Structure 1
Amino acid sequence: MSPDARGFKPLSTVLSRRCGSDPALQQLLEILADTCINVAERLQSSAFRRNTTIAGSQNSNGDLQKPLDLEADAIFETHLALLPNVAALVSEERDDVHWLKEPSAGDFIVCFDPLDGSSNIDVGMVVGSIFSVFRLEEDHQPYDLLSVLSGQNQIAAGYALYGPVTELVLGMGDWIDGYCYDPASGTFYRTHPDMTIATDAKEVAINAAREALWPSPIAQFIRDCFTPKLSGGRGANMRWTASMVADVHRILLRGGVFIYPEDREQNARLRLVYEANPIAFLMRSAGARATNGRDDILSLPVNDLHQKVGVVLGACDAVTYIQTQYEKA
């Protein structure tokens, strides 16, 4: 039985209602969905093309690039360049802004991590893509772009998850929906409308290998999480895949908190513009919170395209508790 026959609505039908009188945004989101389908298809055949090894280059953050990182980046560019109102792209794999046209009022800026968690590909684990959308309110020159890319200016964000099925999550601030891709019809269908996150965290995603460098508020919270409830703790479980989209998706579906803090040496790992901000936008859409420990992610100023930031996001109770501990420290 087809998804239509089972009552699942195709992406285009949902976006037609969600985007209302903004057909340009609807078209852009549909192009982004098509982009993610194309990336998924490339991943499925990657082992046969022998391109899961290192490409021999580094991105702006010093990460070793794989051919698939560069392929995914090229796929995003190819699809987004089809739209005459997309002015610029900001990608993890590019040092600078990639301008597609002279920017003018009403144009879109799209920021993305084309292949999040690509180190997991060789072992068959889940990876994904993250993206967010901005609209220029007035004519801007390239040197003005950082002021535009504040997290509070995002008008839409989403991510794709490439695993047992290809999944897509989209949000526009007041709603967030989850979709699954049906290969038979070549269409995304909505499977999780109006997603929300429970206020209490029963699962925690954190890289325990960095425990020695955790700041004290994080260390105390984690000790409390992994203390059994009978002993006065939270009795939570830990899950960690080293792919932000995979951990965030699980939290979105099952509740919990994702933590990748700035460590005691003041090192942060995640990028604000195309990782933390889009996911923070989606968290807020789902009734959850996202901070760097102290301040809301979406309120942080953007000083660099590849700026790094600590992240604590998910269940409101847990994020608020950690923020309180930071204030006391």
Structure 2
Amino acid sequence: MDHAAEAQRTDLMTITRHVLNEQSKHPESRGDFSILLNHIVLGCKFVCSAVNKLFQAGLAKLIGLAGEITNVQGEQQKKLDVLSNQVFVKALVSSGRTCILVSEEDEEATFVEPSKRGRYIVVFDPLDGSSNIDCGVSIGTIFGIYVVKNKDDPTLEDVLQPGKYMLAAGYCMYGSSCTLVLSTGSGVNGFTLDPSLGEFMLTHPDIKIPKKGKIYSVNEGNAKNWDDVTSKYVENCKFPKDGSSPKSLRYIGSSMVADVHRTLLYGGIFMYPADKKTPNGKLRLLYEVFPMSYLMEQAGGEAFTGKQRALDLVPKKIHERSPVFLGSSDDVQEIKALYAAAAAAAE
């Protein structure tokens, strides 16, 4: 028996152990972040279990609309949306490490009562892609974490800061497997839930997005409303003028987690541009654009709004929207160049 290979095979790296290893590099660390992350992981496990039950015919009662409830975006909520939001809010508050929570499903930010207050702000979309629940497409949870300036006197201004100041970001994808992708500011790692152990195990260490990809991802149903730059870029994807092969279109839609996960692993570009119908973009800045842009940059990619680096944007309100182009650096640079040329021509 190859004892070295056997030792490596049994040296299982859980997400908790991984984070503790990262925190050990910072002597001043008190373990608060590990506790917070454990509560986020618990929420992800709960939602994963609920999603799996939903996919079983015997538990179809979870399918359907939650009465007349709509969220702040005016979208109908599935029962699982409501449940997921409640689970994460309770898990985050009970961790004793949070002071402000911003959820896609809640109109106002949640300020944690002083007795349970900690120094972290968590922004999150508890169930991204919920409109795809009934057809079995991968859905997920997206989150970002900031540090508050003064936990004894937190204000909404503490939330409205650029994504570049995030401490950590990640997403958990619920599909054929349950995968949690996380960055704490020193690269990106992917963990897959082992149902037999009930633990997220490191399966995708140090994820690096390819410098250039062969896939573009965009809702072409909005093409008639695009600006000239987006139209030209997509035309170049289909009919490249340099003699290279055309890019392939891959777009799941309504499930940003699934589209971004594929882009992160295989390369290419994910686009949700501003257009005539949604001039300010459609994706939410705090809990969709920022966390995904943070992960892309940490993996060696880029994220661009059509005007500037996505992580440099300063939010003015918690549910603000933004356009975004994110993915492989060469692909994002190409669309940056097109916007720069268009701006120069307009002067």
TM-score bracket relative to the smaller structure? over 0.9
> Counterpart in 1 of 2:14?
10
- Equivalent in 74, 94, 97 of residue 82 of structure 1: 94
SS in 1 for 2:74: coil
Q: CA deviation at 1:64?
A: 1.6
- Change in Cα spacing, 1:201 to 1:195, as seen in structure 2 (3 Å) is same
**Contact 1:110/1:132 (CA < 8 Å) preserved in 2?**
yes
After TM superposition, the structure 1 stretch with the greater mean CA deviation from structure 2, 287-296 or 112-121, is 287-296
Q: CA RMSD in A?
A: 2.1
> Is 1:277 matched up with 2:290?
yes
> Counterpart in 2 of 1:237?
248
- Change in Cα spacing, 1:52 to 1:105, as seen in structure 2 (3 Å) is closer
Give the letter for the 1:262 counterpart.
A
**Contact 1:113/1:130 (CA < 8 Å) preserved in 2?**
yes
4+ long deviations beyond 6 Å: 103-106
| Aligned pairs for 1:1-329 within 5 A | 5-20=9-24, 21=26, 22=29, 23-46=31-54, 48-55=59-66, 56-102=68-114, 107-139=119-151, 140-147=153-160, 149-227=161-239, 232-242=243-253, 243-265=255-277, 266-329=279-342
Counterpart CA distance in 1 for 2:334 and 2:316 is 28
Q: CA deviation at 1:32?
A: 1.0
- Change in Cα spacing, 1:132 to 1:27, as seen in structure 2 (3 Å) is same
SS in 2 for 1:298: helix
Question: CA-to-partner distance for each residue in 1:149-177, whole Å, 9 max, x for gaps?
Answer: 32122100000000000000000222110
Q: CA deviation at 1:52?
A: 2.4
Give the letter for the 1:280 counterpart.
S
Counterpart CA distance in 2 for 1:52 and 1:298 is 36
Give the letter for the 2:88 counterpart.
F
Give the letter for the 1:236 counterpart.
K
Give the letter for the 2:187 counterpart.
W
SS in 2 for 1:301: coil
SS in 1 for 2:236: helix
Give the TM-score normalised by the residue count of structure 2.
Answer: 0.89
Q: Percent identity?
A: 32
Unaligned segments of structure 2, at least 5 residues:
1-5, 343-347
Give the TM-score normalised by the residue count of structure 1.
Answer: 0.93
SS in 1 for 2:13: coil
- Change in Cα spacing, 1:234 to 1:316, as seen in structure 2 (3 Å) is farther
Unaligned segments of structure 1, at least 5 residues:
none
